[in-house]
């Protein structure tokens, strides 16, 4: 993937919101290119969200997720300066991720 994963983390009181944009083709393997050839499947299979180095959300994905997926998560008990990171892997072994610190909204 050429574009980096984007992550934004804001906190209001002790409630945090994390928004993640993952640039990825998310190809199901069922579409065809203009010449009629099947496009090979390539999709994100795993997303892990960590807070201060500790995994807090782990998800398994499949082919039914759109291109360049946007995820939003709500976390309780966070404060400005806490670090949040995301790591993802796709079915072809490609990996990506990003890290951010919570900032006041």
Q: Which CATH number fits domain 6-28+39-104: 2.40.50.100, 2.60.40.10, 3.10.105.10, 2.30.40.10?
A: 2.60.40.10
Name the nearest CA neighbour of 19 among 7, 10, 31.
7
Does the structure show a pLDDT above 80 at 90? yes
pLDDT for 8 equals 97
Domains in the chain: boundaries: 6-28+39-104
Q: How confident is the model at residue 15 (pLDDT cuts 50, 70, 90)?
A: very high
Q: Is 63 left (phi over 0), alpha (psi -120 to 50) or beta?
A: alpha
User: Residue 1: is its pLDDT beyond 60?
Assistant: no
Closest CA to 80 of 53, 66, 101, 95: 101
Q: Given a cut of 90, is residue 105 above it in pLDDT?
A: no
**pLDDT at residue 31 is higher than 80:** yes
List Cβ neighbours of 18 (8 Å cut-off, separation of 6 or more): 7, 8, 9, 49, 71, 72, 73, 75, 84, 86, 100
Q: What is the pLDDT of residues 55-89, one digit of tens each?
A: 999 999 999 999 999 999 999 999 999 999 999 99
Reply yes or no on whether the pLDDT at 6 is more than 90.
yes
């Amino acid at each position: 993937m050429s574009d980096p994963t984007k992550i934004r983390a804001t906190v209001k009181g002790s409630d945090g919101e994390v928004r993640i944009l993952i640039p990825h083709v998310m190809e199901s393997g069922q579409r065809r290119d203009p010449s009629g050839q099947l496009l090979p499947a390539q999709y994100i299979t795993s997303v892990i969200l960590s807070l201060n180095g500790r995994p807090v959300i782990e998800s398994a994905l499949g082919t039914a997720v759109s291109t360049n997926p946007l995820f939003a998560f709500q976390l309780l008990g966070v404060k400005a300066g806490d670090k949040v990171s995301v790591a993802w892997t796709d079915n072809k072994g490609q990996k990506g991720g990003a890290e951010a610190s919570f900032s006041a909204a």
